Amino acid sequence: MMHRFPNLEKPTTYNEKLQWLKLNCRNPEYTKMVDKYEAKEYVRKILGDEYIIPTLGVWNSFDEIDFDKLPEKFVLKCTHDSGGLVICKDKSKLDKNEARKKIENSLKHNYYLEHREYPYKDVKPRIIAEQFMVDESGTELKDYKFFCFNGVCKMLFVATDRPFDTRFDFFDTDFNHLPFKQGHPLATKKIAMPKGFEEMKRIAEKLSVNIPHVRVDLYDINGHIYFGELTFFHFSGNVPFEPSEWDGKIGNWLQLPTPK
């Protein structure tokens, strides 16, 4: 995907260092931190309940879901996966067969095998329902993803126009737009600094203390901050930056630990 071999003896770029961390810095605690159900309890103990999106249910199979007990709007996702998402805005119009197909395919998906992101290897595949959330736009839930290095936030990107025309825009910690892209095109609309930006930075740094690198994903809904997820290997270290010099610049922020 990068069209070259990584230097794993002396990694210098961000993407190379992520591969090095997969191989040399394995923390079993990270499994709980990437589990979309267990991570909520982990974060709750650090931050408190007010930052947690309410969980409406957790099940081992689709047949266990009692849709009569769910509200008119909700979100279904799997605890071990990325992308297996069912957004229900009107329960009376939900195509349960399509929802079943998507969720059951996600349950079968072994995310660890794709790029050897070891924290996912032992996550128990389950289904959770969450409260439906939307931000001030009334149409989407923008995702603010903070890149933290040993408890210090260095940059973030904002994901907009999901899921059909996804755009990623990178910003520094003063919310100045950074001159590169990765994985998706830039937004065609101006992205305003969220109301809770300073609080989000504080939360991201609090959740990343003593971790060489983690991406902390948060939502801002009219100034109220909610936790999204923790990601240890952004894009699995397999997506180039444009221009490529930013791979090295960001790599300078990541200080690798001594392997145990």
**What digits encode the pLDDT tens for the residues 199-255?**
999 999 999 999 999 999 999 988 899 999 999 999 999 999 999 999 999 999 999
CATH of the domain at 11: 3.30.470
Domain count, the chain: 2
Give the residue from 69, 98, 132 where a domain finishes.
132
H or E stretch covering 50: none
Host domain of residue 233 = 1-52+134-260
Task: Report whether 183 contacts 239 (CB < 8 A).
Answer: yes
Count Cβ atoms below 10 Å from residue 41 Cβ, excluding itself: 12
Residues 162 and 237 in one domain: yes
Residue 80 and residue 47 share a domain: no
pLDDT in tens, 105-162: 999 989 899 899 999 999 999 999 999 998 777 667 888 999 999 999 999 999 988 7
166 and 222 housed in the same domain: yes
* Residue 12 sits in the same domain as residue 88: no
